[in-house]
Structure 1
Amino acid sequence: MMRDRRMAAGADNWVFRSSGGIDRLEARFTGVAFAPHRHDTYAIGITVAGVQTFDYRGASRHSLPGQIVVLHPDELHDGRAGDGLPFQYKTAYVAPADIQRVLDGRPLPFIKGDVSDDPGLHRVVCELLDDLDSPMEDLEREQAITDLTAALSQASGADLPTGVQNHAAVLRARDFIEANLDRAPTLADLEQAAHYDRWRLSRDFRALLGASPYRYLIFRRLDRARGMMSRGAGLAQVAQAAGFADQSHFTRHFKKTYGMTPRIWAAMHRRSRSA
């Protein structure tokens, strides 16, 4: 995919935008990338290569590979290479209204310094920007917003409030997910099934079951897929029956979870069964 992006846009300057879900992109530029401008969204990204330099809130900022950049809504900024060499980054544009749905009236989080090394924020942003080639499912998008809001709040020093988890509601949501592996449920669906506010449900679900509702859905789909593969089903058939968009979508999630492709896993399983 990277080679295709370069061929399409030239060796030095290109932009690849994801399709579906949260507005996400990966870009590479040399020299001055863009003049001063504003967004009506948060721009939250990570520098992949080079030095990303920008003027923001009266000072020049510099982001090195692995650092997180958080540009707040309606703040003037530009962008350029900081050392004369190409720089590359990934960014997600998130509407304040989406963040506010999780905050429920609390002030939007503000990251001082704009360039962050906060480990929690780094983990969430990397997960959000990891796979730009696949459109996000509705539940995946909603969960990403929830996780990002929590990470931004923590990094800004304003953690979201916690309390006693609603165990019964979490179990109702879990049962709904397990009964609907082949569809794409949303947090609104889980809210209705659990009779509990969707954003609190998302936090309680992770606290009690160790994974977000979306990750739980993926784990259960992968369990179904491994069962079918162990019985000799083909990968295309498995991907469709387990609820994935296509075989490549299935393969990416399988490798991310188990560290190997489903084809290798199936071959190892056959060898083990024969032995």
Structure 2
Amino acid sequence: MPSASESKDWVKFAQTPGKIERIEAYFSGHGYEPHRHDTYAIGRTLSGVQSFHYRGSQQHSLPGGTMVLHPDELHDGEAGTIEGFQYRMLYIDPALIQKILGGKPLPFIPGGISSDPRLFAATESLLKGLEESVDTLEEEDALYDLANTLAMVGGQRFRRCAFDYRRAERAREYIQTEFSQNITLETLSAVSGRDRWSLSRDFRALYGTSPYRYVTMRRLEYCRRLIEKGLSLAEAAVEAGFSDQSHMTRQFIKTLGISPGRWQKIIQNSRA
């Protein structure tokens, strides 16, 4: 029979399919025995103290830092205080990182914990609540950011590269006309004739934003026009290519600073 404290423990898995496994968990005391993954385990402690043994020393993860456990490194886990600990974690196949870095050594973060704000920012979209979906392009976009940030924080240096404007522009023009469709980085690669990760790098350098953000902004612009024409929020969301109204609402607030409902009322009031 589990103890009273063990009965409080829980683990939840993201239900949306993707290349990256996402979990959230709570442990009131002892979490797990020493074990190792063949993936990166990258996460964030949400509350409490998350203690673990890693490479010969005991580490303590607190809210605000980022855990980066290297593939095939032995580690365990337990609560550092009587309050227990809650955390979110990503499990990422090193092959996904390697495809972006192109044969460079896998980045290593000493101690398994980093306070670097660049790494915290690079994991933000992937470590959001499990109830929030991560679409394919958003995941690929975030993975590109994360791989390069890991390399920078881990001390790797990059050579200057030439950018292919013609192919990046071909991808941008495709987004302009097809933003309401399910666009993936693979789709843009096929359209442009450029490999996915080179295209993602070129797009950022040439247009100041990522392919995912560019798609999202085109959808939000279209939503605003549809709302101004009198469509309901749900109709505007679907028409613009968002998965549902709540998805559109989150992006609307995040990008524009107000909810689409408030925007709708502002438009209505301005016409009264």
TM range (shorter): over 0.9
Tell me, yes or no, if structure 1 residue 45 matches structure 2 residue 47.
no
Q: How far 1:84 sits from its partner (Å)?
A: 2.1
**Structure 1 145/255 Cα, relative in aligned 2: closer, same or farther at 3 Å?**
same
**Structure 1 86/273 Cα, relative in aligned 2: closer, same or farther at 3 Å?**
farther
Q: Which residue of 2 aligns with 1:173?
A: 171
Instruction: Measure the CA separation in 2 of the matches of 1:101 and 1:164.
Output: 19
Contact 2:118 2:149 in 1 (8 A): yes
1:105 partner letter? G
Q: Which residue of 1 aligns with 2:67?
A: 69
2:102 partner letter? D
Q: How far 1:160 sits from its partner (Å)?
A: 4.0
Q: Which residue of 2 aligns with 1:208?
A: 206
Contact 2:126 2:134 in 1 (8 A): no
Instruction: Measure the CA separation in 2 of the matches of 1:51 and 1:217.
Output: 38
Unaligned runs of 5+ in 1: 1-9
SS at match of 1:228: helix
Q: Percent identity?
A: 47
Instruction: Measure the CA separation in 1 of the matches of 2:263 and 2:47.
Output: 33
Q: Which residue of 2 aligns with 1:247?
A: 245
Tell me, yes or no, if structure 1 residue 156 matches structure 2 residue 157.
no
Q: How far 1:269 sits from its partner (Å)?
A: 2.2
Q: Which residue of 1 aligns with 2:77?
A: 79
2:80 partner letter? G
Q: How far 1:201 sits from its partner (Å)?
A: 1.0
Instruction: Measure the CA separation in 1 of the matches of 2:118 and 2:93.
Output: 21
Q: Which residue of 1 aligns with 2:139?
A: 141
Unaligned runs of 5+ in 2: 1-5
Instruction: Measure the CA separation in 1 of the matches of 2:207 and 2:263.
Output: 26
Q: How far 1:155 sits from its partner (Å)?
A: 0.6
Offset from partner CA, 1:192-239 (integer Å, 9 cap, x none): 211222111101111221111011101110110111011110011111
Q: Which residue of 2 aligns with 1:116?
A: 114
Offset from partner CA, 1:139-158 (integer Å, 9 cap, x none): 12211211110110111011
Contact 1:46 1:126 in 2 (8 A): no
Q: Which residue of 2 aligns with 1:7?
A: none
Instruction: Measure the CA separation in 2 of the matches of 1:84 and 1:210.
Output: 46
TM norm structure 2 = 0.92
**Structure 1 211/135 Cα, relative in aligned 2: closer, same or farther at 3 Å?**
same
Count of residue correspondences: 265
SS at match of 2:110: coil
Offset from partner CA, 1:2-51 (integer Å, 9 cap, x none): xxxxxxxx994222211222211111211111111111110101111111
Q: Which residue of 2 aligns with 1:14?
A: 10
Q: Which residue of 1 aligns with 2:3?
A: none
Q: Which residue of 2 aligns with 1:232?
A: 230
Q: How far 1:131 sits from its partner (Å)?
A: 4.1
Q: Which residue of 2 aligns with 1:34?
A: 32
SS at match of 1:129: coil
RMSD, aligned α-carbons:
1.6
Q: How far 1:273 sits from its partner (Å)?
A: 3.3
Instruction: Measure the CA separation in 1 of the matches of 2:190 and 2:160.
Output: 22
Instruction: Measure the CA separation in 1 of the matches of 2:91 and 2:251.
Output: 24
